Amino acid sequence: MGFGDFKDKLQNLGEEHGDKVEQGMDKAGEMAKEKFGHEEQVDQAVEKGKGFFGGGDQEQPPPGQ
């Protein structure tokens, strides 16, 4: 399995179980902020991750980026 296949499987997971994925990402982000601080950077990373999975406030980048 190549990286492209792995990426497609992750995106499909996000589409099928988006609410659970978002909850997990939010929880992980809160834990990271408690442990490391850097709240703005953690929030940006969580939102970018949600965009990758098809959720969040960001649009997905065009394929190949």
pLDDT, mean over the chain: 79
Q: Which two tokens stand for residue 16?
A: 């099928």
Q: What does the pLDDT read at residue 37?
A: 93
**CA of residue 52 relative to chain centroid, distance:** 5
- Long-range pairs for 60-65: beta carbons < 8 A, 24 or more residues apart: none
Kindly give the residue spans of alpha helices, DSSP state H, lying in the chain: 3-16, 18-36, 39-52
Q: Which DSSP state fits 40?
A: H
Which one has a higher pLDDT value, 4 or 24? 24
- Mean pLDDT across the stretch 29-47? 95
